Structure 1
Amino acid sequence: MSNNKAYKEIAPRLRGIRDAVDMTTTQLAEKVGVEPSLVEKYESGEHEIPVSYLMDVAHVCGVDLTVLISGNESHLTNYALVRKGKGFSVDRRKDYDYKNLASTFVGRRMEPFMIEVPAKKPEDMNFTTHRGQEFIYVLEGKLELRLDDSILILEAGDSLYFDSNTPHAMRGLDEKSARMLDVIL
């Protein structure tokens, strides 16, 4: 699925869920901490939708993140097994390759992802913020992670726990991708 197609498929679910909980774009914007124009932009299906925004909307509207991304309900309540190299691809962001590792589990309290972070130039890094906390464990490669004004270099086996409200951006180093486990709470 191309990224544009993913945006077009996710956007109507965003609008539908907002309508189902009887919220205006202004009310939703206030609850997730963005401008109303940004809510409208994401609901248009023409723009990249950050996973952090989807998580915030899911939380505010009381729905599972899987519903917003795939349109399908989660269904397992006891465990969710994901085999090596699998996981639900979150094909909605050009910066990173996300695979959700618990998309079938109902009532998740965290969102675990396997993320492939490509090499890029420092000026091409995109900062993001979102509610909650985040834990990163580097599996392969070398990762540059910027937290506000701090530049951290993480290698395989290194981990970092941080407040996700801190502006953060990542890139693979040495002209190679880095692979990491990312858990968002």
Structure 2
Amino acid sequence: MDSTAESARQAPNLGHKIRALRQRLQRTLDETATAAGISKPFLSQVERGLASPSLTSLAGIAGALGVPLHYFVDTPSEDKTVHRAEHLRFFSFSGSPNLFARLTSSSVGSQIDSLLVRLPVGDASDTEVTTHAGEEFVYLISGELSLTVEGKTFKLHAGDSAHYESTVPHSWANTGDVETTLVWVGTPRLF
């Protein structure tokens, strides 16, 4: 396939991404075009796949919609999108008996982090109360978890989940008699 045919094939996908983001942000064609420094009719043509923006125009559109340029030009790939079970690698932090494995990629612009966490039997080392910006979500795969949020303690079992603001004091501990395994999801990214 020649480059002209390839550009024509990708133009509707690019236009669809631009329109979808603009509509999700509840921005009009007019305000987006003005902020991007292009005409409203040209932006409309781009969104419908009838025109291809220059790199400068695309950078203007990205800026107007508050995303980096790569948001529109990156294509999904397995290494950016999928984590295979056979590549799961556990690590630990100094002084912690817990094991962690990253479930999300560390791509630029990502806002969430997801970890598989294994807490040993009776581990209470994570009882230190913490606060930080963002949100957290935990889903228990196996075992038990004692979760304390703002001084109130909840006992979670396999299949239970919890969602809370990270800005409030919170802590967790494995108070059961088997290893606890959970999925932790949080914003912003830890590292």
TM-score (norm 1): 0.51
Tell me the amino acid that sits aligned with residue 113 of structure 2. E
* Structure 1, unaligned runs of 5 or more: 1-74
Q: Give 1 or 2 for the bigger CA radius of gyration.
A: 2
Kept in 2, the 8 Å contact 1:141–1:177? The answer is yes
Other-structure match for 1:80: 81
Give per-residue Cα distances to partners, 1:76-100, cap 9 Å, x unaligned: 9653321226435443241521111
Other-structure match for 2:156: 154
Q: Aligned match of 2:142 in 140, 147, 167?
A: 140
* Structure 2, unaligned runs of 5 or more: 1-73
Distance 2:75 2:122 in 1: 38
Distance 1:85 1:127 in 2: 34
Q: Tell me how large the CA RMSD over aligned residues is.
A: 2.7
Distance 2:154 2:86 in 1: 27
Query: Structure 1's 158 and 83: CA in aligned 2 closer, same or farther, altered over 3 A?
Result: same
Other-structure match for 2:181: 179
Distance 2:134 2:125 in 1: 26
Distance 1:133 1:174 in 2: 25
Kept in 2, the 8 Å contact 1:134–1:162? The answer is yes
Deviation at 1:120, TM superposition (A): 3.0
Q: How many residues align?
A: 111
Tell me the amino acid that sits aligned with residue 119 of structure 1. V
Further displaced range: 98-107 or 156-165: 98-107
Other-structure match for 1:102: 104
TM-score (norm 2): 0.50
Tell me the amino acid that sits aligned with residue 83 of structure 2. V
Kept in 2, the 8 Å contact 1:113–1:181? The answer is yes
